[in-house]
Amino acid sequence: MRKTGNHSIIRRISRMGAVAAAAMLLLSLQGCGKGEESPVDNGPETAQEGVWINNHNVAGLTLEEIQAVIDQDIVARSQEKIFLNANGMSVTVAAGELGLYCTDPSLAQKALEFGKSGSAVQQFKDHEYIRKNGAYVIDIPYAVNEEIVRAVINDKTPALSEGSGGSVLVHNQDGSFTVIPGENGVTVDEDPSVAILTNYMNQEWTGGVGSTNLAVKEGDISDEVAALELVQSPLGSFSTTYDTSEKERSTNIEVGTAKISGLLLYPGQSASVCNMLEPFTEEEGYAAAHAYEQGLIVDSIGGGVCQISSTLYNALLRAELQIDERCPHSMIVGYIAPSLDAAIAENTKDLIFTNNTDAPILIEGYAGGGTVSFTVYGHETRDPARTLEFESVILEQEDYTYKYELDYTEEAGTFEATEPRNGLKAEGYKCVYINGELQSRELLSRTEYRMSPMILTIGIMGATDSEVQDLSAAIAKDDYDEVIAAFGRVSYNHPGAMTKKEKKEKEEKENKAAEEAAVAEGE
């Protein structure tokens, strides 16, 4: 009788190679039985035991879960420090700053399908690999973005240069400029350094702290000197005035202006006013003064520095530099025309500009005696017949209103009034003239300023019931003249009351006298 089925297959195994025989056995076992077809395999749902990605065990995970593991690995690796070395010095960058990413978008799918896809022979090989080695580890192929690497090289490696450049631009008293050349030295060579760092991250780095040596070259300051020698002319200037009786605000304007004065920008370089002025702390020389906050005038460390940015903004407009970011105030200001202002605030508002000329620019500022001014110097290439004017056009105006508050903690007859602001809608325009004839009128900005009411706070501590009722009745009518008349009656009956400002000045005077007396006694 002829033998069939598995017995016949087993005899054939002895005449076949081990791997091929195993594959044949798997295929035969799949086909044996009562002639029934095997269930259709709809594909792997989770990774099998023994599959790892880097040092992450992904066994039993779905495709989405494996992809999440890969993403989390990239996030973690992005924090790893990479040392960039040149001239015996180093700077560090995080791998993520170089644009780190995984180059294989199908990596999760490969992990999911290992040992479960392909031919029976391949599946057998995959299982055997795990049995012999304990695990199958898939490495994440890391790579970085070359353009981002170039930007990092430009930003981070000037600190690695040794004695290169350092030329100084001196503005002489007669208005002329002199360039004092620096010295040649060793600098980071950009193009080969970009290639070195990109290749290191793409081919060698596998995670952890990294380190690579960048290419260097002998520096040459001739181009730097030639560029600085082009700076000869004022391109634009502007001034505004401030009240020197507001000592704290005056201090902030003078401190902030000094931080910007002397700024030198080469073509293509940008500057942020916030970055130059921050942090707004007492340690930096700033004081608490009036500033805008959510439609209110409040005391804030560094209050008043917006006058610096607004003055500088108008000088930049006249120099026709590129304005990248400009933000208006929430309410109108008195020192500059509507829609031609430029507010700054930590983390929310900034004035950012770029040197879009063919030469370096030097920005000089001065603040003192109630005037703050900025002048932009550079290489003048514009037609002498070309002149500029800047217009502020008010479209709508909302007159400020009045609000009244009774303060039971202040003496009767005391009052304090906030500075009101009208609401406005305005537009700012740049007008270009050639030989006095208008050539163009460009809309620079369209701004809406909110109205801020005058808030009159009246002290009533110690006032009689009839005085309080008199004031309350006037306030209920919302009639400014009647409120002022009622307050006048209270003030007449309580002549010793002082405004909060007067109290503050009196306290400061007394404190100063006490300090002087203490010093004199110590001597």
**Nearest one of 93, 59, 60, 54 to 72, comparing CA atoms:** 54
User: Which residues make beta-bridge pairs with 403?
Assistant: 455
372 in Cβ contact with 239 (< 8 Å): yes
User: Which residues make beta-bridge pairs with 216?
Assistant: 188
What pLDDT shows up at residue 418?
85
* The residue type at 105: P
Q: Which residues contact 456 (CB under 8 A, 6 or more apart)?
A: 402, 403, 404, 405, 415, 416, 417, 418, 483, 487
Residue 319 CA to residue 321 CA, distance in Å, equals 6
Residue 119 CA to residue 30 CA, distance in Å, equals 13
423 in Cβ contact with 408 (< 8 Å): no
User: In the structure encoding, which two tokens stand for residue 196, read together?
Assistant: 């070195």
- At residue 302, what are phi and psi to the nearest 5 degrees? 90, 5
What pLDDT shows up at residue 214?
94
Q: How do the pLDDT tens digits run along the chain, 523 residues long? A: 333 333 333 333 333 444 444 444 344 334 433 444 444 455 558 999 999 998 899 999 999 999 999 999 999 999 999 999 988 888 899 999 999 999 999 999 999 999 888 898 999 999 999 999 989 999 999 999 999 999 999 888 887 876 556 788 999 999 999 999 887 778 889 999 999 999 999 999 988 899 999 999 887 788 889 999 999 999 999 999 999 999 999 999 999 999 999 999 999 999 999 999 999 989 999 998 777 665 556 667 778 899 999 999 999 999 999 999 999 999 999 899 999 999 998 888 999 999 999 999 999 999 999 999 999 999 999 999 999 999 999 999 999 999 999 999 888 888 888 889 899 999 999 999 999 999 999 999 999 999 999 999 999 998 999 999 999 999 999 999 999 999 889 888 887 666 666 777 777 787 887 787 777 777 6
What pLDDT shows up at residue 84?
92
Give SS3 for 310.
Answer: helix
**Nearest one of 244, 363, 249, 247 to 305, comparing CA atoms:** 249
**Radius of gyration (Cα) for the chain, nearest Å?**
37
367 in Cβ contact with 359 (< 8 Å): no
User: In the structure encoding, which two tokens stand for residue 411, read together?
Assistant: 């003496």
User: For 304, which DSSP code?
Assistant: T
**Nearest one of 102, 186, 188 to 152, comparing CA atoms:** 188
Q: Is the dihedral of CA 475, 476, 481, 485 positive or negative?
A: negative
Residue 390 CA to residue 443 CA, distance in Å, equals 10
Q: Helix-strand-coil percent breakdown of the chain, rounded to 5?
A: 35, 30, 35
DSSP-assigned states of every residue in 380-440: --S-TTEEEEEEEEEEEEE---EEEEEEEEEETT-EEEPPPB-EEEEEEEEEEEETTEEEE
The secondary element (H helix, E strand) that includes residue 259 is helix 247-260
* The residue type at 290: H
User: For 114, which DSSP code?
Assistant: T
Give SS3 for 443.
Answer: strand
β 81-86/210-213 pair status = parallel
Burial of 510 (0-12, 13-18, 19+ CB in 10 A): exposed
User: In the structure encoding, which two tokens stand for residue 345, read together?
Assistant: 């605030």
What pLDDT shows up at residue 294?
56
Q: Which residues contact 143 (CB under 8 A, 6 or more apart)?
A: 100, 101, 102, 103, 201, 202
User: For 245, which DSSP code?
Assistant: T
Residue 5 CA to residue 258 CA, distance in Å, equals 96
126 in Cβ contact with 60 (< 8 Å): no
